[in-house]
Amino acid sequence: MGQVFTDGRGDTHFYPMRTRKREAGFSLKTFILENGAPAQLRTDYAKEEGQGMDVKETLWNKIVDDFMIHLSSSEPYSHWQNLCESEIREVKRSTYRFLRRTNTPKRLWCYCAEWYAGVRRLTALDIHSLKGRVPEERRVGDTPDISEYAQFDWYDWVEYYDPAEAGDKEAKSKLGRFCGVAKNVGPSCTYWVLTANAKVIARSTVTTLSDERRRDPAWQEQMTDYQEQIKAKFGDLKNKDEVAKEIGEGTLPEIPDDLFDELEEIYNAPVSAAVEPDALLPEVDDYNADSIDTYLNAEVVLPRGGIMSKGKVVKRCKDSDLKPIGLRNKNPVLDTREYAVEFEDGC
């Protein structure tokens, strides 16, 4: 599971947790250390967040008191009152989308969710209150550095250097998969890397696997062996005990049984071509100026013979060279296009 903090405008932070009640306070502590204490905080009335419990009973409430945070909660069964709910939905959907697209083992979902939350904070979103800025810039006031998140896409093939295991020159470069940015570990641009033996390690010496390496038969064989090892060690169908036997207890978290149930139902449901929205859309080559003209086929009421008559816009007027007359303008007063209208009597 995970704890999410957000301002409801894309400045979202995700912290993985193993034990819900015990680690909620630690997530809040980490959030404050990384971003500063918020003036106010709204929760969903969960007990692990101090609601309905003695004020001194939880670490969460102790931190809230120490930093003098105004704590409030949404009304029960009124999820729309908590801006975090919509951000949780976006993080969950995008995490599932990246896992499916890259064929990532589901046990890495927490790394993917944490990575995506970081990408979302640094992405320009279509939210008016951001005024063209990315969410993190709105919070800190300065243009953020996106270098750490601009180097790799989720679960990219990467090459890393591990001096602890390098015996000779040929063994220094190793194959791995990118699993996100390792915050608070080493220098800037340190990343989580999934090794061939199913361990997630932090390394700053990480580069994208070059096209030359990908075409090299020796590296292609390594990539094939890597995928087989990962699948054998913690495939999606393995339970917690089987994974612990393969790679050790506590290496990766257990998958919540219902984590992506509703999303899998949506993605895996059979879709008829007749009702699939994209199937009804014309090809790009079929588009022309008339096909996207919002005035065509519009019903209008115009003065005719001293009375107001109802008609329908049937086509755009053209000159002797068969070129459309007039130019489009966002301001209807300045729009000079001319159209032919057919009235109810056929004229």
CATH 3.30.420.10 segments of the chain: 2-140
Cβ partners under 8 Å of residue 112, min gap 6: 95, 98, 99, 104, 154, 155, 179, 180
* pLDDT range class, residue 305, cuts 50, 70, 90: confident
Cα dist. 34→17, 27, 30, 68, 198 in Å?
A: 17, 11, 6, 17, 29
The domain at 147-236 falls in which architecture? Roll (2.30)
Cβ partners under 8 Å of residue 253, min gap 6: 16, 18, 107, 110
Task: Quote the Cα angle for 103-105-108, to 5°.
Answer: 120
CB 226, CB 175: distance < 8 Å:
yes
> pLDDT of 72-118, one tens digit each?
888 877 877 888 888 888 898 888 888 888 888 888 899 999 999 99
| Residue 122, token pair as written in the block | 């640094």
Cβ partners under 8 Å of residue 295, min gap 6: 313, 316, 337, 339
Q: What CA–CA distance (Å, rounded) separates 225 from 91? A: 32
The pTM score is 0.66
Q: What CA–CA distance (Å, rounded) separates 79 from 11? A: 19
Query: 3-state class of 115 per DSSP?
Result: helix
> pLDDT of 119-163, one tens digit each?
999 998 888 888 888 999 888 888 888 999 999 999 999 999 877
The predicted structure's pLDDT at residue 194: 93
| pLDDT of 185 strictly over 90 | no
User: Within 10 A of 232 (CB to CB), how many other CB atoms are there?
Assistant: 11
| Residue 78, token pair as written in the block | 């009124």
- Is CATH 1.10.645.10 the classification given to domain 2-140? no
What is the pLDDT averaged over residues 177-200?
A: 90
What is the enclosing helix (H) or strand (E) of 157? strand 157-161
The predicted structure's pLDDT at residue 5: 92
